[in-house]
């Protein structure tokens, strides 16, 4: 019983280790298959055979067998060595046997129809079999990068475009990678004897610069987020690609621009801001209020003159007799004085109404937040919730017999 329990315990302890080993083999197979696919696309079929064979040894899947067979087939037409021909035929047959309904079955049958007659015409084995195997098992490095226009230099050798595939001595090597619009990078890699070592290099992109010339009182928003206050020559560091620029200022229409920035380069834009209809209306009201105030001053002058004429009549009446014509003139002056006083009051009330309405329109004229905070479509993210409806206030002057006032209305 104790032996059974011990065996079960050892089995339980070893099971996670075997699962980890299987997962590690799968990761290694994925890396080898990726390296083989990259070498195949670059036209280095020996390197592709080396990497794909390593992946097939770890995980003998039909898809890997087909890819490995393709690499051997392509290499056979390069050097016409019998070993590659025989291996390609063997792998394509394995694929058809392991995946009878596979998506590449027709391609495998077509390859066999091409290769089997060639194999039948060369019955003898090649004497270069071991040499070919040694050529496949050489120590190689495969260095890649996704940066466009990148150049890779291994151990100080002349730079080459990506991917870089080279036979090297086992051990440490250094690669220097440069690309337009990216910061250069230098990496150390370890070449494993008899294997193809895949080394992907990721370059850090140089930021792009956006220069904006606009009003100092404005605010600048990039892709829906506040970036900076306005001014002349505001420089912003941004990732390359498309961006949505929104410039807002109180009393001005929000200006929108779509810019496309290139890596590591600067682009300048000038953003002018037009007045909003509300701001234009408020300025017109200020002008009308000023004109109305000027009219009230003129009318008050007429009222004062009429008042003076009436006072002259009253002073003469105390010392001398007055004629009926003078009395009629006095009554006319009193009537004119009252009319001018009323007109002056109305003009002052109108002026005050214009000024109050213009002030409200001026102070409440804010940029539309729905335009400022809208995100760029290129980001692929959900836009922020739409802000609440902007409060709108309407002011209308009211005139009363003994004064003036204003009526407020609108949405809040």
Residues 6+ apart with CB under 8 A from 199: 141, 142, 143, 144, 175, 187, 189
Q: What is the mean pLDDT of residues 260-282?
A: 91
Q: What is the mean pLDDT of residues 186-209?
A: 89
pTM: 0.57
Q: Give the confidence band of 368 by pLDDT, cuts at 50, 70, 90.
A: confident
3-class DSSP assignment, residue 390: coil
Q: Give the confidence band of 2 by pLDDT, cuts at 50, 70, 90.
A: very low
Fold of 23-135: 1.25.40
How far from 273 is each of 49, 245, 259, 276, 365, CA to CA, in Å? Answer: 63, 13, 17, 9, 14
What is the predicted pLDDT for the residue at 379? 47
Q: What is the mean pLDDT of residues 179-200?
A: 89
Cα–Cα distance measured from residue 72 to residue 91, given in angstroms and rounded to the nearest whole number: 9
DSSP run (H or E) holding 83? helix 82-98
The domain segmentation of the chain, as residue ranges, is 23-135, 144-201, 208-270, 277-364+382-411
DSSP line for 134-179: HHHTS-EEEEEE-STT-EEEETTPPPEESSEEEE--SEEEEEEEE-
Q: Give the confidence band of 302 by pLDDT, cuts at 50, 70, 90.
A: confident
Q: Give me 76's structure tokens.
A: 């056979």
Under a CB-based contact definition with an 8 Å cutoff, are residues 334 and 314 in contact?
A: no
Assigned architecture for domain 208-270: Sandwich (2.60)
Neighbours of 211 (CB within 10 A): 14
Residue 12 has pLDDT above 50, yes or no: no
Residues in the chain, overall count: 412
Residues 6+ apart with CB under 8 A from 140: 47, 50, 165, 166, 167, 168, 191, 195, 196, 197
Neighbours of 38 (CB within 10 A): 22
Q: Give me 293's structure tokens.
A: 């105030």
Give the burial string for 106-127 (b: 16+ CB within 10 Å, else e): eebeebbeebeeebeeeeeebe
Residue 406 has pLDDT above 50, yes or no: no
Angle at which helix 129-136 crosses helix 45-58, to 10 degrees, equals 80
DSSP run (H or E) holding 49? helix 45-58
What is the predicted pLDDT for the residue at 322? 62
3-class DSSP assignment, residue 208: strand
What is the predicted pLDDT for the residue at 269? 93
Q: Could you report the per-residue pLDDT of 38-92, keeping only the tens digit for each?
A: 889 888 888 888 888 888 888 889 999 999 999 989 998 998 888 888 898 999 9
3-class DSSP assignment, residue 99: coil
DSSP run (H or E) holding 347? helix 324-363
Cα–Cα distance measured from residue 194 to residue 23, given in angstroms and rounded to the nearest whole number: 23
Q: What is the mean pLDDT of residues 177-197?
A: 90
The answer to whether the 23-135 and 208-270 domains have the same CATH topology is no
Most confident of 122-131, 242-251, 347-356: 242-251
Q: Give the confidence band of 140 by pLDDT, cuts at 50, 70, 90.
A: confident
What is the predicted pLDDT for the residue at 261? 93
How far from 376 is each of 237, 263, 386, CA to CA, in Å? Answer: 17, 18, 15
What is the predicted pLDDT for the residue at 137? 74
Q: Give the confidence band of 136 by pLDDT, cuts at 50, 70, 90.
A: low
Q: Give the confidence band of 383 by pLDDT, cuts at 50, 70, 90.
A: very low
DSSP run (H or E) holding 35? helix 2-42
Under a CB-based contact definition with an 8 Å cutoff, are residues 229 and 353 in contact?
A: no
Cα–Cα distance measured from residue 316 to residue 220, given in angstroms and rounded to the nearest whole number: 74
Under a CB-based contact definition with an 8 Å cutoff, are residues 75 and 46 in contact?
A: yes
Residue 386 has pLDDT above 50, yes or no: no
Cα–Cα distance measured from residue 323 to residue 328, given in angstroms and rounded to the nearest whole number: 9
| Percent of the chain whose predicted confidence (pLDDT) is above 70 | 80
Residues 6+ apart with CB under 8 A from 412: 391
More confident residue, 132 or 172: 172
Where is average pLDDT lowest: 19-28, 259-268, 392-401? 392-401
| Percent of the chain whose predicted confidence (pLDDT) is above 90 | 27
């Amino acid at each position: 019983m104790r032996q059974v329990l011990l065996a079960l315990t050892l089995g339980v302890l070893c099971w996670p280790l075997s699962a980890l080993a299987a997962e590690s083999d799968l990761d290694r197979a994925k890396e080898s298959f990726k390296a083989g696919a990259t070498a195949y696309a670059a036209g280095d079929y020996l390197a592709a055979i080396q990497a794909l064979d390593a992946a097939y040894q770890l995980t003998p899947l039909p898809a890997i067998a087909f890819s490995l067979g393709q690499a051997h087939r392509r290499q056979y037409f390069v050097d016409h060595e019998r070993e590659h021909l025989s291996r390609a035929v063997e792998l394509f047959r394995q694929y058809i046997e392991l995946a009878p309904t596979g998506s590449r079955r027709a391609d495998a049958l077509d390859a066999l129809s091409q290769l089997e007659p060639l194999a039948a015409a060369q019955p003898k084995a090649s004497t270069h079999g071991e040499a070919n195997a040694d050529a496949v098992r050489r120590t190689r490095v495969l260095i890649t990068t996704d940066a466009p226009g990148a150049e890779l230099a291994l151990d100080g050798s002349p730079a080459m475009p990506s991917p870089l595939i080279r036979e090297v001595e086992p051990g440490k090597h250094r690669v220097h990678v440069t690309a337009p619009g990216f910061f250069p990078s230098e990496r150390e890699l370890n070449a494993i004897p008899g294997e193809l070592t895949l080394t992907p290099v990721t370059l850090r992109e140089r930021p792009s610069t956006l220069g904006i010339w606009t009003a100092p009182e404005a605010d600048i928003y990039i892709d829906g987020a506040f970036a900076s206050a306005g001014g002349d020559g505001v420089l912003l560091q941004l990732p390359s690609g498309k961006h949505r620029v929104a410039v807002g200022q109180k009393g001005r229409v929000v200006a929108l621009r779509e810019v496309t920035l290139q890596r590591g380069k600067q682009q300048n834009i000038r953003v002018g801001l037009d007045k909003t209809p509300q701001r234009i209306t408020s300025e017109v009201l200020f002008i009308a209020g000023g004109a109305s105030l000027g009219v009230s001053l003129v009318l008050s002058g007429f009222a004062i003159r009429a008042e003076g004429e009436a006072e002259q009549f009253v002073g003469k009446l105390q010392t001398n007799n007055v004629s009926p014509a003078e009395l009629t003139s006095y009554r006319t002056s009193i009537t004119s004085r009252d009319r001018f006083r009323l007109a002056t009051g109305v003009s002052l009330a109108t002026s005050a109404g214009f000024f109050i309405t213009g002030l409200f329109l001026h102070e409440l004229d804010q940029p539309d937040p729905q335009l400022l905070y809208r995100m760029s479509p290129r980001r692929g993210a959900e836009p922020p919730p739409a802000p609440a409806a902007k409060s709108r206030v309407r002011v209308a002057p009211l005139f009363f017999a003994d004064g003036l006032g204003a009526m407020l209305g609108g949405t809040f």
